[in-house]
């Protein structure tokens, strides 16, 4: 979900850059040496997943996968996304350098919220149906919050973006459902073959 170069106002750009810099700093501080391969692989997946996109005014619709990525990475989602979005901006002109902070914040902050939500509730029941429902909710919620943050970013830039902001949220309703289903399969598969990826669980 990229906001294009030259769309956002200076205060929105500066705020997004500052908050993203703080998130990346925390993510790098928490990253252990053994976490680097996992973070790198997920960053590459995020890069590829959002290459196929449908333009929508100053933004675009595509797979985001920030729900499942947030569950797996926690704070490391910030450096993972900033690298993926930076490469997309310089290689394919998706988004832009000045909008990089805002674009990263819009996908990484919802991923962090989902990470904590999943962390709190995943051990409540050892039941596949429960875990599947939780995974679907987390995957869909991350996309919804991202669409909402994109809308807020546009509205804080200029009220004339209100209609585009509404469209950005509505256009991502199908993406929410798709990513919810994807999250179910990924979480249940990881739970079966390598549950320690979630943290706090050993096989």
Partnered with residue 60 across adjacent β-strands are 55
Buried b (16+ CB within 10 A) or exposed e, 161-182: beebbebbeebbeebbeebbeb
Encoding tokens for residue 115?
């990470």
Q: What per-residue confidence (pLDDT) applies to 102?
A: 95
Element containing residue 13 per DSSP (H, E): helix 10-30
**Alpha helices, H only, 158-172:** 162-171
Whole-angstrom distance, CA of residue 141 vs CA of residue 56:
21
Q: What per-residue confidence (pLDDT) applies to 84?
A: 94
Report which of residues 28 and 168 the model is more confident about. Answer: 28
Task: Please name which of 26, 16, 43 lies closest in space to residue 100, comparing C-alpha atoms.
Answer: 16
Whole-angstrom distance, CA of residue 105 vs CA of residue 63:
16
Per-residue model confidence as pLDDT tens digits over 45-59: 999 887 776 665 555
CATH of 10-198, one of 3.30.230.10, 1.10.1760.20, 1.50.10.20, 2.40.50.180: 1.10.1760.20
Whole-angstrom distance, CA of residue 103 vs CA of residue 82:
9
Whole-angstrom distance, CA of residue 65 vs CA of residue 184:
12
Per-residue model confidence as pLDDT tens digits over 149-176: 988 888 888 777 777 777 777 878 888 9
Residue 127, SS3? coil
Partnered with residue 62 across adjacent β-strands are 53
Task: Please name which of 7, 2, 175 lies closest in space to residue 103, comparing C-alpha atoms.
Answer: 2
Report which of residues 55 and 19 the model is more confident about. Answer: 19
Mean pLDDT of 135-153: 92
Mean pLDDT of 123-139: 84
The pTM of the full predicted model, rounded to 2 decimals, is: 0.86
Whole-angstrom distance, CA of residue 59 vs CA of residue 182:
23
Residue 189 has pLDDT above 70, yes or no: yes
Task: Please name which of 177, 99, 95 lies closest in space to residue 139, comparing C-alpha atoms.
Answer: 177
């Amino acid at each position: 979900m990229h906001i294009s170069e030259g769309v956002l106002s200076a205060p929105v750009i500066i705020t997004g850059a500052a908050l993203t810099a703080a998130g990346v700093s925390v993510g790098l501080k928490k990253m252990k040496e053994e976490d680097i391969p996992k973070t790198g692989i997920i960053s590459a997946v995020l890069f590829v997943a959002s290459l196929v996109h449908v333009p929508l005014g100053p933004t675009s619709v595509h797979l985001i996968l920030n729900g499942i990525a947030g569950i797996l990475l926690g704070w490391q989602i910030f450096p993972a996304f900033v690298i993926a979005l930076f490469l997309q901006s310089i290689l394919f002109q998706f988004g832009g350098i000045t909008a990089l902070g805002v674009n990263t914040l819009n996908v990484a902050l919802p991923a962090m919220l989902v990470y904590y939500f999943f962390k709190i509730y995943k051990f409540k029941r050892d039941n596949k149906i429960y875990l599947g429902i939780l995974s679907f909710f987390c995957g869909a919620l991350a996309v919804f919050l991202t669409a909402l943050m994109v809308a807020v970013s546009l509205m804080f830039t200029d009220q004339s973006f209100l209609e585009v902001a509404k469209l950005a949220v509505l256009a991502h309703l199908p993406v929410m459902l798709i990513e919810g289903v994807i999250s179910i399969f990924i979480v249940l598969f990881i739970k079966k073959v390598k549950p320690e990826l979630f943290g706090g669980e050993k096989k």
